[in-house]
């Protein structure tokens, strides 16, 4: 990843030196450093290169009624109405999800076409809706916890009719890692411990709930559990340790 970040910075530099761009824009191309996440990457390109990529966290036709109900429940808490009738930000926030981390950046769609253009995020590399990982994640900054609604498609089979343990581990790493990044900025997974309690049927919808245990210097400790949507059945438990990393210095910013 470090090499990709350096390449992004060099691309920004080269774009900023192009005469055609300099003549059209009063302000040179700039690169901004990380804030809350390594996935909110660094490129701020001029408007011709910016476009809106597909957000996989939004509902599609493959979502079950149960997944839709949970989505609407948490999404309705992202914006609340005051007594005066005004809209304001609620306790929860939905996190967008793209098939490349680059696309979180302004101009990321353009950059993703020139930097490892065939690369795709592991959980978002299947085009067929509902075939693999269908999920949406919400975070609550005040309570320092997150919720992920996950529907497992038929391509994730392990034991007949049930979700592969590796797919469950992938979701646990993704959810806890995203949560740790949201809380602590750029992080890397140092340790992930998983206890499988009961299998998850293919096509079912489950909840992944993560919470911050503690922070010690560069270390962020997260706990996560996978349950049925009503919380009556525990499928999996996990604890994770993440280390904060300083990536911005690689870009010279």
Which residues sit opposite 136 in a β-bridge? 149
Q: How many residues does the chain have?
A: 253
Question: Across-strand partners of 149?
Answer: 136, 207
Residue 249, C-beta contacts closer than 8 angstroms, at least 6 positions apart: none
Angle in degrees, CA 109, 112, 118, rounded to 5: 130
Q: Which is catalytic among the residues 55, 173, 213, 230?
A: 173
Is 213 designated active site? Answer: no
- Of 42, 35, 57, 49, nearest to 9 by C-alpha is 42
Distance CA 35, CA 228 (A): 34
Neighbours of 125 (CB within 10 A): 12
| Residues tagged active-site | 173
């Amino acid at each position: 990843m470090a090499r990709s970040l350096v390449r992004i910075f060099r691309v920004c530099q080269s774009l900023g030196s192009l005469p055609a761009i300099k003549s059209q824009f009063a302000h040179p191309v700039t690169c901004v450093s990380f804030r809350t996440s390594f996935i909110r990457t660094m490129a701020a390109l001029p408007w011709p290169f910016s476009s809106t990529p597909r957000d996989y966290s939004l509902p599609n036709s493959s979502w079950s009624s149960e997944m839709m109900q949970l989505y609407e429940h948490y999404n309705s808490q992202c914006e609340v109405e005051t007594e005066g009738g005004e809209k304001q930000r609620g306790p929860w926030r939905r996190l967008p999800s793209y098939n490349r981390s680059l696309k979180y950046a302004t101009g990321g769609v353009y950059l993703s076409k020139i930097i490892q253009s065939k690369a795709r995020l592991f959980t978002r590399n299947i085009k067929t809706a509902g075939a693999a990982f269908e999920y949406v994640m919400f975070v609550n900054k005040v309570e320092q916890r997150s919720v992920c609604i996950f529907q497992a498609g038929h391509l994730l089979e392990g034991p007949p009719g049930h979700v592969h343990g590796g797919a469950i581990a992938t979701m646990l790493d993704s959810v806890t890692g995203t949560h740790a990044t949201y809380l602590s900025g750029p992080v890397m997974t140092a340790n992930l411990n998983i206890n499988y309690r009961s299998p998850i049927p293919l096509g079912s919808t489950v909840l992944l709930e993560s919470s911050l245990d503690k922070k010690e210097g560069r270390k962020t400790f997260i706990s996560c559990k996978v349950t049925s949507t009503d919380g009556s059945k525990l499928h999996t438990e996990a604890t994770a340790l993440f280390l904060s990393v300083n990536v911005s210095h690689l870009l010279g910013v």
